[in-house]
Amino acid sequence: MIVLGLETSCDETAAAVIDGAGKVLSHAVLSQISEHKPYGGIVPEIAARSHLSHLDALVQNAMNDAGVAYKDLSGVAATAGPGLIGGVLVGVMTAKAIASVHGIPFLAVNHLEGHALTARFTDGVEFPYLLLLVSGGHCQLLAVQDVGKYQRLGTTVDDAAGEAFDKVAKMLGLGYPGGPAIERAAKDGDRNRFDLPRPMKGRAGCDFSFSGLKTAVRQAAESLPAGDLSTKDVSDLAASFQAALVDSATDRCAGAIETFRALYAEGNTLVVSGGVAANTALRSALMKTCEDAGMKFVAPPVALCTDNAVMIAWAGLERLKLGLIDPLDFKARPRWPLDPDAAPARGAGVKA
Ligand code: KG4
Ligand code: ZN
């Protein structure tokens, strides 16, 4: 089996070809960061136009690098949601056109399922497992029961973790994307200089909250002498913020491990995935939490945590193996929760 995967839901245009054994035959990722940087965040219209300009050539390169002809493909998978709908449509229409012209199955992949199943591709993790999905748009704890079967244990009631990183980075003048910039600035900073809150710490349940932490960083910055923040102030604020966010997130995970175990006695792995899973401080803290709880901890390589097409091809392959192919009139979805039965979280907008 050989699957082509396309990813266009946010600010990365990506195409990958993988085989049935899960070997990556090719992977091309084109970041749009320089196009959005002047605006301090992602501009949906620019993102959609850029995907449209680059996707065809990127797909052709991925096919050439893999040394695979279209007739050799067993299926073509594309992120069909959730995400910025203009970009999602570009990927979905391209995949449908390839599927239609070459008479191969089309696989509509939920971007979040791409992140969720990555650990099965990289580490062969068995179902069920506990997943911390932390990205720019989402922050959830899920029991991954099977392909297409998820139980949401908790979610953010306001901002997503990546959103908090991005907003605080903007506040500190560190630019976009915020996560890597905060992590770099925090390296030289004093994480104990500012006494920031740990939202939800010690509370029952598995929900998150980050908007109060963001406000506390703003207040701490405003409490400093007027004028531009010094490099040291920025580093100390970044380090204090990162430490507080990691502390709050790991506390929620420690509670979720207990909840998960009570529900799924056979599960013994915590997986972290999504762009924020690239954060070294978060990875180390989660490893410690898992050690303390006697859980196995799996964090995919950083390049497969941030948005990529390998994860879409892999999720497509898992679905194809189960016969879960989609019709060519499948509609792209701006919103597509993994657990449709979970109650919407108050204040979280589309992040539930
Ligand atoms: O999964 P992703 O690439 O795109 C979405 O599906 O949202 O996640 C992007 C998010 C951004 O908010 C970015 O700032 C954050 O992941 N991020 C990080 C790091 N690298 C990316 N956050 C913290 N530390 C990092 N090293
Ligand atoms: Zn993502």
Mutation probe of ligand 1 site: the residue of 135, 213, 245 with most atoms within 8 A of C-beta: 135
What is the mean predicted confidence (pLDDT) over 271-276?
97
Read off the pTM.
0.95
Q: What's residue 348's pLDDT?
A: 59
**Alpha-carbon radius of gyration of the chain:** 20
Q: Which ligand is nearest to the CA of 165?
A: 1
As a residue count, the chain comes to 352
Q: What's residue 343's pLDDT?
A: 85
Checking if the pLDDT of 17 tops 90, the result is yes
What is the mean predicted confidence (pLDDT) over 265-285?
97
- Please tell me the distance between residue 168's alpha carbon and the centre of ligand 2 in angstroms: 19
Mutation probe of ligand 1 site: the residue of 109, 284, 306 with most atoms within 8 A of C-beta: 306
Q: What's residue 25's pLDDT?
A: 98
**Half-sphere exposure in the Cβ direction for 59 (13 Å, CA):** 26
| SS3 label, residue 259 | helix
Tell me what percent of the residues of the chain surpass a pLDDT of 90.
Answer: 91
- Which CA distances in Å does 66 have to 15, 100, 103, 216? 11, 21, 20, 49
Contact 206, 133 (CB under 8 A): no
pLDDT in tens, 58-115: 999 999 999 999 999 999 999 999 999 999 999 999 999 999 999 999 999 999 999 9
pLDDT in tens, 122-146: 999 999 999 999 999 999 999 999 9
The domains located in the chain, with CATH, are 2-115+304-351 (3.30.420.40), 128-300 (3.30.420.40)
Rounded-to-10 torsion of CA 210, 296, 181, 338: -50
Checking if the pLDDT of 345 tops 80, the result is no
* Average pLDDT, rounded, for the chain: 95
CB atoms within 10 A of CB 254: 16
CB-based pocket (< 6 A), ligand 1: 10, 135-137, 162, 165-166, 177-180, 183, 274-276, 278-279, 306-307
What is the mean predicted confidence (pLDDT) over 155-182?
95
User: Which atom of ligand 1 is least distant from the CA of 177?
Assistant: 14
